Amino acid sequence: MLDRRPEESCLDLLHSNNISVLSRGGLAQGLLVNKPPNDYLNYKKEEVKKAVNVIKSFSRKKRTAAQTALRFVLHHPAISSAVVGVRTIKQLKEVVNVTSTPPLTNEEINELRKAVPVNFYEEHK
């Protein structure tokens, strides 16, 4: 959610050519789940906090915050899988069970997209 550069620049093109993508960084080093807000890429701490709050608002009964964030990553049809770092068995179970949670609604996806401004590639590494 905090690095949508591929979504803005190439995911639709890849999908239209039947090319799948393996996503990484969907939890923004834990900032979207359990770490205190901090600057991330071109986002300021306040913007990260806003993103976390929107994720939490869609997570309460349906899924955990991590599962909501991963559902956001996986909603694009070009994304075939998401690589996620885990440190505990609890985190592993949470991630493994993401496909058992309800998919995001169009409203939820739109609200998550609006939570932070879009970022674009400014330089390639």
Torsion-angle region of residue 41: left (phi > 0), alpha (psi -120 to 50) or beta?
Answer: left
Write down the pTM of the prediction.
Answer: 0.87
Q: For the chain, what percent of residues have pLDDT higher than 70?
A: 94
| 24 DSSP β-pair partners | 83
How many Å apart are CA 123 and CA 43, to the nearest integer? 16
* CATH code, 37: 3.20.20.100
In a domain, 61, yes or no: yes
Residue span of the structural domain in which 98 resides: 5-115
pLDDT of residue 48: 94
How many Å apart are CA 100 and CA 19, to the nearest integer? 25
Pair 26, 94: CB distance under 8 Å: no
Query: What value does the mean pLDDT of the chain take?
Result: 89
How many Å apart are CA 100 and CA 114, to the nearest integer? 26
Question: Number of folded domains in the chain?
Answer: 1
Q: pLDDT by residue (tens digit) across 57-80?
A: 999 888 999 999 999 999 999 999
In a domain, 19, yes or no: yes
Q: For the chain, what percent of residues have pLDDT higher than 90?
A: 66
Rg of the chain, C-alpha, whole Å: 14
Higher pLDDT, 110 or 119: 110
In a domain, 77, yes or no: yes
pLDDT of residue 122: 66
How many Å apart are CA 5 and CA 115, to the nearest integer? 15
In a domain, 123, yes or no: no
Query: Per 3-state DSSP, what percentage of the chain is helix, strand, and coil (rounded to 5)?
Result: 45, 10, 45
In a domain, 125, yes or no: no
